[in-house]
Structure 1
């Protein structure tokens, strides 16, 4: 059998996808498996490592079956996964409990303490960012203070993608893009002892794994992994990369000035620069190669809000969110935005602001129905992206804006984003951009392409441009200004509305779906 496929594994916040691509980006087969989020305590959002690996293995098997291929057809594997958060191993390489996801907010109190005493500001010049409450450093410090036995048993501190690659290859490592979320110096792009010292984490220096570049070979599929996945033992696996960067590459963005917007669980907005550009409104992290930086402005306020509404209104209809989106897209193309309709702050999971925020729906009247509420949610999601995009415009020249996810394959949703941004955007025909970005690191690792830039240029990508329509853009601008004023008006009330109870009976993080163990398979 001819080796003609590369596989990208993308372990997202709610499901894991494995996608087999040709060298030019054609999808040959896809597998998908749902993964549980465990939330037995308020503000704790965790993932079981064993379940995560089982889901990845299942998705790979299903992708091979869907493509009608076996493991002999696969040239290379690349992996990406939900970024930030923390997975820890003991000194024998076994998980020390569940991994912590970036939706987790247990370190909020610690984060507030760091902010008040100036620690976040002291870290900023070195790291190019202030640690978030879900950063690996914040979670390690929380573990130090609240679970000292676990903390002192740590042999490895790394990330979700690194755990999946370890299961595939048996090799412990991370890559530059993941390491830069918490542990690296902005300028040297290497591990920083100074950051660890400032945060009281110097003992963790020995737990930081080997630091690779995304396209470096990072081992081969082990016999055990081959048995679990259907891949061929010895198949090369690349180091892989952070999911935000993987999505940008999958969209065809590799150059300074390329801005990528991804509407998923998080509102992801990023732009590459060929020099470090620190700023208060974004995190400046490492790009996919040394000498490239990625300015990222993100928050957990995107398409997950619509998924929440779909579960609330239609709990027995798994495709309800997609149905809502298609209907809203058609409605927007037919009638556009209307002045005075409800406004929604999409902060069910979090917001761009330091203070713990609450979602809000304003202007709702008795004559409004589900269509208006869905439209408000989608508009609020676009407005939250606009907040981040405006910030990134201040980081330097924007060469182009590409967008994916959140229903933007629907013309009406893409047009809404163009009207909200007031700027031309492009939508790629690439599906599963994150998985493609991961797969291309594998292709480079085995020599199919000399570098990621060449690999991206070889992809058969069709771009569709959407330009803002002036009258609609003017209505959206007016609505965005009212949306922003309402944010400022309700900010003082957030503390009183945000529950910070602890203990097993304190409830769950508002709006985050709990996936039961028996629902693990999609």
Structure 2
């Protein structure tokens, strides 16, 4: 008898993974690939629908080639949220999908931010450049012909859901990103009205729970992907929720931190609270909320620095078959005890402020080495997470903090984060958190487990605990206070540039 597995597809802004897990959460096979997108104009970030589907199909075919001895029993997808996809009457994309890295609608977001009190009272969140409502409002102003032909709008994972199952819809976690009433967790006419988009309420997609089976793999999809014909497809969910689940955060009081392209910091609650400091969104079922404070300012800053300025080290590591980022910890370790006042603002791709702030180093002098800059980047990433986390801890009951992301593989950065937060953090052993969380949703959907808590208990990975380090705290806590002070002082310059 073949071992049964479920497949979780996890699609990020720069890469995608399809991972097969058995019912105990063991990785049986995985396949990774790039996640193609275009930047046709400054501030634009888009993805062609056919290219997107071709990349996902290719990834799935390669994965299925590794599963000949296994029985696939279900599949689901999570993907980067926000942004927007728009389909016509023939269910074809009217234009490339717009990604959450896109900032073309920055001025539009400022316009609707003037309604912040009304937005908070209805939707539980303000306007941001990447939010679906803001982008749809931008399209209404700049591409009215597109919206005139629109027959449905959705999110990235919903587009892949459509290609897998031929069904159109979304789920609670995605639907609550703009037009939901945060209290009753359903579409609200007033929310559409606040964004001057009343006409779009009629084409709002049906909303499922992430675990709902929405269709099955048909013959054409089987040919494209290699997935077995007839297996169920679940609705899926926003990748930040999938990442939290994969990290072991499934119930109120748990705070999940994801250090990737975005600084994602989110706490689960059984009652909603609203603030300008976070988005109050729905979690996996009605009666649960995911309160998230985010900005595109995390470990992608380290990736940019290494890819742009450390090519020799990367090439040597690849030829040696070792971790290409291993030299980072080594260089930081060599200077870790040196006095250094360098600060780094990790705003290469965006920031948590309401202005177009720049990334920069402050405090560099001639005696500093590259290790000092890398240490400052590590600290800057931790500081931006703390900037988001502090309001969540102050306003919600937080029993534990779980952290995932590539930078958690460092032997140094997790200690910095725990120390500046002055709280222990837990890091799961399984690195494929988004795919694992999605696979758990699939396992519940097909009836293998009664609910998510049961699935998480059976499939979740062990975690290691990182405690605050008093020696690190001696320098990092004052450095964070200086970071906030300087950020406030520079703010007027960013605003006026």
Tell me which residue corresponds to 1:408: 408
Q: CA deviation at 1:337?
A: 5.9
Aligned 8 A contact 1:339 1:479 in 2: no
Aligned to 1:258: 254
- 1:55 offset after TM fit, Å? 1.3
1:341–1:63 CA distance, 2 compared to 1 (3 A): farther
Corresponding residue to 1:281 among 277, 281, 285: 277
Indicate whether 1:124 and 2:120 are aligned.
Answer: yes
2:111 corresponding residue in structure 1: 113
Q: Which residue of 2 aligns with 1:425?
A: 425
Task: Tell me whether 1:304 sits opposite 2:300 in the alignment.
Answer: yes
Task: After TM superposition, give the deviation of residue 391 of structure 1 in Å.
Answer: 1.6
Q: Name 1:443's counterpart in structure 2.
A: 443
Query: 2:201, 2:252 → 1: CA distance?
Result: 32
CA distance in 1, matches of 2:84, 2:342: 38
Q: Residues 130-180 of structure 1: CA distance to partner in whole angstroms, max 9, x if unpaired? A: 121110000001000100101111111110000011111100010000000
Give structure 1 stretches of 5+ with no counterpart: 498-522
2:140 matches 1:144: yes
Q: 1:361 to 1:389 in 2, by over 3 A?
A: same
- Tell me which of the two structures has the higher relative contact order, counting C-alpha pairs closer than 8 angstroms and 6 or more residues apart: 1
Corresponding residue for residue 463 of structure 1: 463
Q: How does 1:158-237 map to 2 (within 5 A)?
A: 158-237=154-233
What are the within-5 Å matches in structure 2 for residues 433-512 of structure 1? 433-497=433-497
Uncovered stretches (5+) of structure 2, i.e. residues with no partner? none
> Which deviates more, 454-463 or 179-188?
454-463
Matched-pair contact (CA < 8 Å) for 2:242–2:437: yes
Structure 1 stretches of 4+ with a deviation exceeding 6 A read: 318-322
Contact 2:340 2:372 survives alignment (8 Å) = no
Asked if structure 2 preserves the Cα contact closer than 8 Å seen for 1:341 and 1:372, the reply is: no
- How much does 1:470 deviate? 1.1
Q: Distance in 2 between matches of 1:471 and 1:33?
A: 41
Cα offsets for 1:426-449 (capped at 9, x unmatched)? 111022101111111111111010
Whole-angstrom CA distance in 2 between matches of 1:343 and 1:200: 42
Name the CA shift for 1:484/1:337 in 2 (closer, same or farther; >3 Å). Answer: farther
Q: 1:338 to 1:158 in 2, by over 3 A?
A: farther
Distance in 2, matches of 1:349 and 1:121, equals: 27
RMSD, aligned CA = 1.9
Residue 368 of structure 1 deviates from its aligned partner by 1.8
The separation in 2 between residues aligned to 1:315 and 1:136, in whole angstroms, is: 37
Residue pairs, 1:353-392, within 5 angstroms: 353-392=353-392
TM-score norm. by structure 2 comes to 0.95
1:64 Cα deviation from its structure 2 partner:
2.5
In structure 2, what is the equivalent of residue 82 of structure 1? 80
In 1: Cα distance, 2:361 partner to 2:278 partner = 27
